[in-house]
Structure 1
Amino acid sequence: MPVLEKTNQLLCLHHSVKLEHPSYHGNTLSQTFLDSLPSKIYGDMNRELSFRQGLASSLTTLQRLLGKDKVRCTFILPHYHTADLEVHLDVDGRPVQIDGVSDQSTKPDVHKRIAIEVTGQNQYAVDSEMLLGNPRSKLRQLNKLGYITHVISATDAKKLDTMDSPSREEYLRSILRTELKAKL
């Protein structure tokens, strides 16, 4: 197993333990080691937007529907190397501006934080709609951090890239209104 892959696995384990078992006081990675890691180990946004089917088209469509300052594509949990689409809603279910600050859970105007996961085929069991361990762990950890999660399946993600703009808008509007209770 290559060194980078081992490092990624250790990093994922380290951050997962901190999130899921905050009372754990055993061995973890040292801060010195974490500081020495290159930033690219946490994921490459350009690669994600270029190669993950449906991600770039969903981002641009949501930005057109809600406003560029109300949607962001980010690595909410950087120890997982898949980008998320993030939307914040106020108490009335209306999208609010997302600042550059990563933790907005304490902002008074943020009532709900939404993470939309655009998944790829490699995140599912073969010939199945069952998510594998890493994506399932990521969703669990996002929920633990207070996010409401929605998964766009690999099949739907592939369709998003081929849909015309009005169809893609209607698909994403439906998710926001029906499943996430957003008011547009």
Structure 2
Amino acid sequence: MARISIIGTGNMGQAIAGVFAKGGHTVQLLGQGDAATAIDGDIVVLAVPYGAVTSIVEQRGESLAGKIVVDITNPVNFETFDSLVVPADGSATAEIAKALPQSRLVKAFNTTFAGTLAAGTVGPNTTTVLLAGDDADAKSELAGAIASGGLKTIDAGGLARARELEALGFLQITLAAGEKISWTGGFGVVA
């Protein structure tokens, strides 16, 4: 069983913790007041808004070396909801990978809402978590931990695919914010 630390105690952090707990994994949930608490996990999930990642990297960057770091962020301009705040040819995950060169970065969970993670379904379909990253072993280990919690995964490719996952996440967020879809719904994958 994996040891997983989740930085962020909001809806997504709690929903992701629930998925891993269902799979029998040890889960450490760290909030803003836990900055001095050591990270126990070999997998570390950044379940925070993109704007908060810089301070986490500054505070905890050295302790993330060698770990699988999971970026769930969608770098949306939350003031206007009309753009992403990273370069058009890049991604939040690529920026985080540059800041954490000794970590094994994987993009995941950004195309799912907390409600679909907690329920395990999107409509009639099992919730599917899309993964992107350059470290095949890190993706495989994360996929196994997610699957043990009852969800499906699809390997979307290398780290460069994080850009498309963020665009998909952005679209889903803007549809929900515009009340076109529910925050408990979202995109499902039919195989």
Between Structure 1 and Structure 2, whose CA radius of gyration is higher? 1
Higher strand share: 2
- Per the normalisation by structure 1, the TM-score is 0.36
Higher helix share: 1
